[in-house]
Structure 1
């Protein structure tokens, strides 16, 4: 028997569609992931995909300068995507088929570059199986600065993915997903990565491996209506050396994540909120291809959702990095794409304390403020303060959105150094 949607689910669907309608075109994928997480916290039915075709055009751009300041939920804007210009976004759905694309043409200095920011062609069977060739942001992990395996701060990479329908077993309801993806051929070594200078030296010596492939798999399990657990892993490998030779198998690297999410109805009632939940995770990125949870990075957070407000608090530790040795060919850019981390927005090697606040704004807009305090375990490494603000509005002709981030790095015995990044876009709905 098919369960009838509850009143709260209907309200969640309405608010979700409203949120998607307000999102700036450049960050629609990240906004959808954030709305899905909000829906889980409130315990509502998952929002169904929009089934009608659409087409939008837009004007805007993104830029950055100074110290590395990522846009959390920015999909690579400011670093992997820069410049000013136009965008086109469309969606078409027929039966089990769906086709989506967001393409940008941006002028950066004296060059005009085309970017396929998001795209996908997928088929979903009535049984629930889904096969897709897509380039979309992901949230593998529940961190407020991005999932510990895959987050939405980086530009998406193309991948072939297969999702299984949810299966009811004697213990819980289980669902699986796997993918195989391809990163850009020549990845820049990110400025935020540890041992940056040593990696640059190794790159100059021809030790960098190119054309890396990324493979991943994830299992999710729901136990009743209050608990969800997950286990996932991604593997970086199958690249090639500077002379075109195959990368040695020993160069492959693996990241693994185990997480737990628990809804807290009693806390929601106490706070007069629609929902409340905690999330806990343990992840590891050993200097090998082993699937393991040591050396571990631990993370814990709390989220509370009201009608138009929401609040998130989170602490994320750091694993103790070992000494770097680049005497053999290696993937020197690590788990990154276009200079941004594939997982949490600041990488895994700093301790972060995050406050995330969603709030209503004037003219029926929606805003978000994030503040992050980062500290490092190495005594000569900088700590930092990071602040990001977002604003979104519907307009008579479409929608408008902007995101601005600022970072202040504190170096022992040296003046503070600043960095910033931003994006802004006005989209016009054609149909």
Structure 2
């Protein structure tokens, strides 16, 4: 059961661990490490209380077909170019401040990006309140959370969480947030009926700047079982003429999930931990809170000292999208800057994922992820996806890189390729 302050822990865990994601993607790294820690049944490491500051050199880019960088926090798609990075944190009493900022040169223009930031206060009782822009993974999917994931660029929000409360058979904790998405959200490449949505967007039917808020309750029952219930709603905003969005445009996404540790399997495999996760989620074209039409996901993970291995299957959610749009709608769906806010490839894709974390030479750490994606529609192309990550600590800091490639199988034509990458060298100042 996670019970440490999220904004502090994201920065503290990532700095103190042998990370399994490239430099300056430490928020997503901390989320993946939290999943690994839960599998082994260990207590999360306490956040570091010392101030820190890192500067970095590097860049991110993409080319060809849409390729999400899983755990990339928008790098490669929403954030591209070559330049400088600055990452630091400061903790005093219950207060914590953390930020990661990038200044990148892309296409003859220099752009500044606040990739990640948080101002938080944690009371001694355990209550926490934060204004943050951090990765937020709700759900245990390997390709990012099934309800909210870490492939997209984080969005700004106000969040709060409760201390743990005792139950007759365990303990529980709740968290919630409220934020707002950008005004001009591009229609994602991965979304269904994209051409119809683009046509509707050209007619001014796309709603902008919607509010996004949600809540999650997690309950632990004994040392091996955790259950979660969560919901996210998108509503409000305005159309291209500045008129307020109608109440009927609200959309709700929901999730029910269980995670189970399997100590017997871990002992049989000589591993430190083994666990399975199962979930059902739904995203109806209405404000109804329901688990239909459902998307089902299941997987398991084995964790050794420096190795880990996982398999996962995610079914496609039935599509209720109409073929034409006559009223203002959220044509970009649950996305930000064109990247999916939930599962990285969209909900209407069947995915089979294999993950392998491994040690590398010179005490480095690497990760490989392979995904086979298919669609319930015979007209939609299947694809193969491969992502590799590596990172090493140096006497002065860290160096790391990630590269993802996707090959779409288009019926009746040649295969279409795309790739995305990030590369950074980080130096510790203190």
Class of the TM-score when normalised by the shorter of the 2 chains: over 0.9
1:235-384 counterparts in 2 under 5 A? 235-324=233-322, 325-384=324-383
Could you tell me whether the CA contact under 8 Å between 2:181 and 2:210 is conserved in 1?
yes
Q: Measure, in 2, the Cα distance between the counterparts of 1:45 and 1:206.
A: 51
Could you tell me whether the CA contact under 8 Å between 2:210 and 2:235 is conserved in 1?
yes
1:145-294 counterparts in 2 under 5 A? 145-294=143-292
Q: Measure, in 1, the Cα distance between the counterparts of 2:385 and 2:315.
A: 17
- The answer for the alignment partner of 1:79 in structure 2 is 77
Q: Secondary structure at the match of 2:358?
A: strand
Q: 1:16 to 1:80 in 2, by over 3 A?
A: closer
Q: Measure, in 2, the Cα distance between the counterparts of 1:247 and 1:419.
A: 36
- The answer for the alignment partner of 2:423 in structure 1 is 424
Q: Secondary structure at the match of 2:24?
A: helix
Could you tell me whether the CA contact under 8 Å between 1:335 and 1:342 is conserved in 2?
yes
Deviation track 1:96-143 (CA, whole Å, cap 9, x = no partner) reads: 000000000000011010000000000000000000000000110000
- Structure 2, unmatched stretches of 5+, are 1-11
Q: CA deviation at 1:23?
A: 5.2
Q: CA deviation at 1:26?
A: 2.1
Instruction: State which drifts further: 260-269 or 25-34.
Output: 25-34
Q: Measure, in 2, the Cα distance between the counterparts of 1:219 and 1:15.
A: 25
Q: Secondary structure at the match of 2:61?
A: strand
Q: 1:14 to 1:92 in 2, by over 3 A?
A: closer
Could you tell me whether the CA contact under 8 Å between 1:24 and 1:399 is conserved in 2?
no
Q: Measure, in 1, the Cα distance between the counterparts of 2:226 and 2:321.
A: 36
Q: Which of 75, 96, 99 lines up with 1:98 in the alignment?
A: 96
Q: Secondary structure at the match of 1:153?
A: coil
Q: CA deviation at 1:185?
A: 1.2
Q: Measure, in 1, the Cα distance between the counterparts of 2:203 and 2:13.
A: 56
How many residues are matched?
418
Instruction: State which drifts further: 323-332 or 306-315.
Output: 323-332
Q: Measure, in 2, the Cα distance between the counterparts of 1:403 and 1:169.
A: 42
Q: Measure, in 1, the Cα distance between the counterparts of 2:337 and 2:360.
A: 33
Q: Secondary structure at the match of 2:88?
A: strand
Q: CA deviation at 1:396?
A: 1.2
Q: Secondary structure at the match of 1:200?
A: helix
Q: Measure, in 2, the Cα distance between the counterparts of 1:245 and 1:366.
A: 51
- Structure 1, unmatched stretches of 5+, are 1-12
Q: Measure, in 2, the Cα distance between the counterparts of 1:242 and 1:290.
A: 26
Could you tell me whether the CA contact under 8 Å between 1:120 and 1:134 is conserved in 2?
yes
Q: Measure, in 1, the Cα distance between the counterparts of 2:42 and 2:27.
A: 20
Q: Secondary structure at the match of 1:363?
A: helix
- The answer for the alignment partner of 1:395 in structure 2 is 394
Q: Secondary structure at the match of 2:237?
A: coil
Deviation track 1:349-373 (CA, whole Å, cap 9, x = no partner) reads: 1000000000000110000000000
Which stretches of structure 1, 4 residues or more, deviate above 4 A after TM superposition?
A: 13-16
Could you tell me whether the CA contact under 8 Å between 2:21 and 2:71 is conserved in 1?
no
Q: Measure, in 2, the Cα distance between the counterparts of 1:19 and 1:217.
A: 31
- The answer for the alignment partner of 1:133 in structure 2 is 131
Could you tell me whether the CA contact under 8 Å between 1:63 and 1:78 is conserved in 2?
yes
Q: Secondary structure at the match of 1:101?
A: strand
TM-score, normalisation: structure 1 = 0.95
Q: 1:420 to 1:295 in 2, by over 3 A?
A: same
Q: CA deviation at 1:24?
A: 3.3
Q: Measure, in 2, the Cα distance between the counterparts of 1:418 and 1:198.
A: 24
Q: CA deviation at 1:47?
A: 1.9
Q: Secondary structure at the match of 1:343?
A: coil
Q: 1:264 to 1:48 in 2, by over 3 A?
A: same
